[in-house]
Amino acid sequence: MGVRSNISRFNKYLAAVWIFLLAATLSHSVYAEDTSQTQKAVVFLLDVSGSMKTNDPNRYAIDGIAQFIYTLPSNYEIGFVAYNAEVCARQSLMDNIHRKEIMQTAESVQYTGYSNAGAGMAEAVEMLIESSAIEKDIVLLSDGECLMENEAATALAYTTYQESAAQAAESGIRIHVIGLGEEMEDTENSIFQAAAKTGGGIYHSPQALDTQSSIDSILQNQFCVKQMTAAIVDVGEDTVELGIDLPFTYASTVRVLLTSSSPIRDLTTNFNADGARQVNGERYSLIEIDSPKGNRMDISFNGTPGHQVRIILIPEYKVLPKASVSYEDHIPEDVDAAVFDREAAITYTFYDMDNDRIQLWTEEYFAHSRLSVDIAGEVTKTTLEDGQVLLHETVTDESVKEICFDCAEFPANILEISTVTVTLEAPPALPVEEPEEFPGVIYGIAFLAVVLVILLVTVVLRLKKSMRPVVVPDNDERPEPGKSSYVGRLNIYVTRTASGYDISPLSYDLFRLPSTRVISMSEILAGCGLREVFEGAEHIYISSGQGHSVILTNQSDCCIMKSGEILMKKKSYQLFAGAKVDIAFEDEISELTFQYRELKPSEMY
């Protein structure tokens, strides 16, 4: 085609500039399509024969079951089977909201009688075969082999156990075995064969207290449950009071599980969330928090002096990814090329599935977290930066691709995450020169004239700008972040709302923000858990300033006053400790007052 030889150099560059500017201003919002939630099922199978009285006199196995059941994410159905000479307790597979009923069944069993592991395993396998779950597991805790009243009954129980394990293997059911006591130290024990046949895990707990370690290993290595140890507390005579960082704002659910080898009493908590439930056992307590709004919770409890209490957090998310696309076009080096070289920058941002206005994973805790992106069968590992994933792709033709995310390495439990469909536009054709009616030099002169005019206009505008007061740009962008650290707190008093509801005094800790964060008043109010709409709050910004101050930038039409002075629109004002600001919002009804307070280092906890 000979495009390069037929286009003048000036024309090519001018066309490239215009096309690049046009493409850069176009972004494509793409929407989630299919959502997938993998339903999983697990049955906890417990040996309650008489020998367990010796190996587990304090019934620590029951507390281990509690830790196991309450740690599993919400997409698990859970069942329970207990056996001695026969199946003596059974709870069918139940969803997340019925886990307390499962524990009530587990806590009701007594250690007595013979050990018929065959009957127990057959019951557990049958329960899972009837389930439609995608992943199925059995966790068996036993202190010995099958043992019945005579050799014939013992042989029958053992045969049933082996047949049930083979049936589990055929049905894709994994069996994990925890052997309790000295007798189970030999991993060649026949009870462990079920794990070997089904690809499950084998664990030995010499003492009953060691079952917690075995359960931790199963949860993390076999079920890949993501949890964070928030604290391990040595209990003394006084009531334990501590604050715990909760870096999972807007998670669908966060479980806070307290476990100990001794009783936990008088548990109280304080946090901001949409809802919560609390379950208390003898040596464990669970707080299940729905959509936490703050980044901290306060806990107090009593325990047994000399013992420890472990506090773990198990976060869950339901995620709606969104994507936007921008292009950068370049003139190709190939002289025979017909189209521009095009590169697409695709930005993926993640939102709450139940409220797609809430962006997730912007906390520092998730910085550099790993995600895998599956693009048309090609998997790319990437990291999260500022709550987003940025990928670049060379575009040669128009294409429509379905994007899937794998969160196996992500530090939270992802119950659901939507797929995203991304449409990429083909690169534009290079311009073809029509027969020249004027010499090429005329085009060159015209181009230079245009450049000269642009330069003159730029100089004039800059001169005019330098003669005017500096104001905030009239657009929706946030002001530039400060370089100093936040050291204070906002005390907020909502004096009037459009709904007429009274709102208690609020506070927002600025010192927890990174120095580069610029936050709007609407984000601050949302962080305090307010659902009230304050018109114009999204255009009032707070950033860090020098000398332990903050900078207030007003881009709204709200009436803002400080010490009787009206704070003008499109201007920034420095606020020092003790500064008090009154805001009347754009609806001419809602009003609030906030005071900036500088904190001492000892107060920033």
Amino acid identity of residue 396, one-letter, is: T
| Whether pLDDT at 490 is above 70 | yes
Q: Which of 64-73, 352-361, 456-465 has the lowest mean pLDDT?
A: 456-465
* Residues β-bridged to residue 343: 328, 394
Q: Cβ contacts of residue 265 below 8 Å, gap of 6+?
A: 301, 302, 303
Predicted confidence at residue 440, as pLDDT, reads 59
Predicted confidence at residue 6, as pLDDT, reads 40
| Cα dihedral 91, 95, 98, 104 in deg (nearest 10) | 30
- By the 10 Å C-beta count (0-12 exposed, 13-18 middle, 19+ buried), 1 is classed as exposed
| Whether pLDDT at 68 is above 50 | yes
Tokens 């409220």 -> residue: 355
| Whether pLDDT at 11 is above 80 | no
What's the CA gap between 231 and 234, in Å, rounded? 10
Buried b (16+ CB within 10 A) or exposed e, 365-384: bbeebebebeeeeeeeeeeb
Predicted confidence at residue 261, as pLDDT, reads 83
Retrieve residue 576's tokens.
Answer: 């020092």
Three-state secondary structure of 526-550: HHCCCCCCCCCHHHEEEEECCCCCE
Predicted confidence at residue 119, as pLDDT, reads 97
Predicted confidence at residue 592, as pLDDT, reads 95
Q: What is the number of H-type helices and E-type strands within the chain?
A: 11, 32
Predicted confidence at residue 21, as pLDDT, reads 42
Retrieve residue 246's tokens.
Answer: 């909760």
CB-side exposure of 441: number of CA atoms within 13 Å?
0
Average pLDDT over residues 37-49: 90
pLDDT tens-digit series, residues 255-307: 999 998 889 999 999 999 999 999 888 788 999 999 999 889 999 999 999 99
| Whether pLDDT at 88 is above 90 | yes
Share of the chain above pLDDT 70, in %: 88
Predicted confidence at residue 564, as pLDDT, reads 86
pTM for this entry: 0.63
Three-class SS of residue 23? helix
What's the CA gap between 539 and 534, in Å, rounded? 11
Predicted confidence at residue 477, as pLDDT, reads 64
Predicted confidence at residue 600, as pLDDT, reads 84
pLDDT tier for residue 19 given thresholds of 50, 70 and 90 = very low
Predicted confidence at residue 23, as pLDDT, reads 43
CA 154 to chain centre: 50
Predicted confidence at residue 451, as pLDDT, reads 73
Buried b (16+ CB within 10 A) or exposed e, 267-298: bebebbbeebeeeebbbbbbbbbebbbbbbbe
Q: How much is the mean pLDDT over the chain? A: 87
Predicted confidence at residue 432, as pLDDT, reads 75
Predicted confidence at residue 37, as pLDDT, reads 53
| Whether pLDDT at 18 is above 50 | no
Predicted confidence at residue 436, as pLDDT, reads 53
Strands 173-180 and 135-142, bridge-based pairing: parallel
Average pLDDT over residues 143-154: 94
Q: How many CB atoms lie within 10 A of CB 233?
A: 18
| Whether pLDDT at 557 is above 50 | yes
